[in-house]
Amino acid sequence: MAFHDTVYSILQSVSSDPGLLKRSLPGMVDFLWRQGNADAQGTGNKVTDQEASFADLLTQRGFQFLAKGAPAPSSGLYYLYQLKGSQAGGDFGLREYKDNKPMKEVIIDLKHTLSKIFYLNDGWFENDVIYIISWNSGTAGKPVLKTHIALGQNIPTGEENTFMATLKKMRSTTNSDNKRVGSLIPYVRFANKYSCERFTSDTAAAHLTAVLASI
C-alpha cells in the first residue's frame, strides 16, 4: 500500500476508534524507550501508552522502525521516534524511502489527557505538524474518549496566536537579557495548557479533512 493510503488509513482508524490509542503494550513501551536497541539504557523519558499504541498501529500497517542516525534504508515505509529529543515537538516521523532517499514525510505529535485540558509544555502548535489529541469529553466517572486530529496551524484561533506571539517575544527578551540576581540566574519557561472545549464534531471533521488533504 502506498505511503499516502497507509497514513490516510491509520489516521482514519484512530479518528473513528479512540480506544486504539489506549491499549497497554509493555513490550512496545520498552522497545521505544530503548530506541529499538535491546542493549541501550533508554531515552530517559517515559513512553506513554498512547505512543506505544500508535507505534503498534504503524507496525501493523507495514512501517518499520528506524533508529535516529541510522543509515538511510534503500526503500520502504519507516518511522522514527522522538525526532528532536524527548522534550521537543514531533513524536513520530513517518517516511517513505526510495533509492536511499526520503521521498515523503509527515510529522506526528501526540497529546493525551484524561480531562478536557492538555499540556503544551514549553511550546506552541507547529505548522504542518499533525497533532493527534486524545481527550475525555465526559467525566472521570463516565469517560467519553475522543480523538482530535489537526494540523498545527489549524488549531489555535487568530486571537490565541497573537497573544502567544506577544508572550514568546517577552520570553525571548527576558532570557536574552540574562540578568543575574545574586546567585540566581533566572530563565523563563512556559507551562501552557490548552482546552479541548473548541473541538466540536464540526471542528473535528473540518480539521481531519484538512489533514487528510495535506498528506
HEC string of 169-192?
HHHHHHHHHCCCECCECCCCCCCE
Q: Which tens digit of pLDDT belongs to each residue from 98-126?
A: 999 999 999 999 999 999 999 997 789 99
Task: Say if CB 82 and CB 67 are below 8 A apart.
Answer: no
- pTM for the full predicted model: 0.90
Mean pLDDT for the stretch of residues 36-54: 78
Q: What is the pLDDT of residue 84?
A: 66
Share of the chain above pLDDT 70, in %: 92
Q: What is the pLDDT of residue 147?
A: 96
Q: What is the pLDDT of residue 140?
A: 81
**Does pLDDT of 86 surpass 50?**
no
Share of the chain above pLDDT 90, in %: 75
Per the prediction, the chain carries an average pLDDT of 90
Q: Which tens digit of pLDDT belongs to each residue from 166-203?
A: 999 999 988 887 778 899 988 899 999 999 999 999 99
Task: Say if CB 147 and CB 18 are below 8 A apart.
Answer: yes
Reported confidence tier of residue 42, pLDDT bands at 50, 70, 90: low
Whole-number Å distance between alpha carbons of 160 and 157: 5
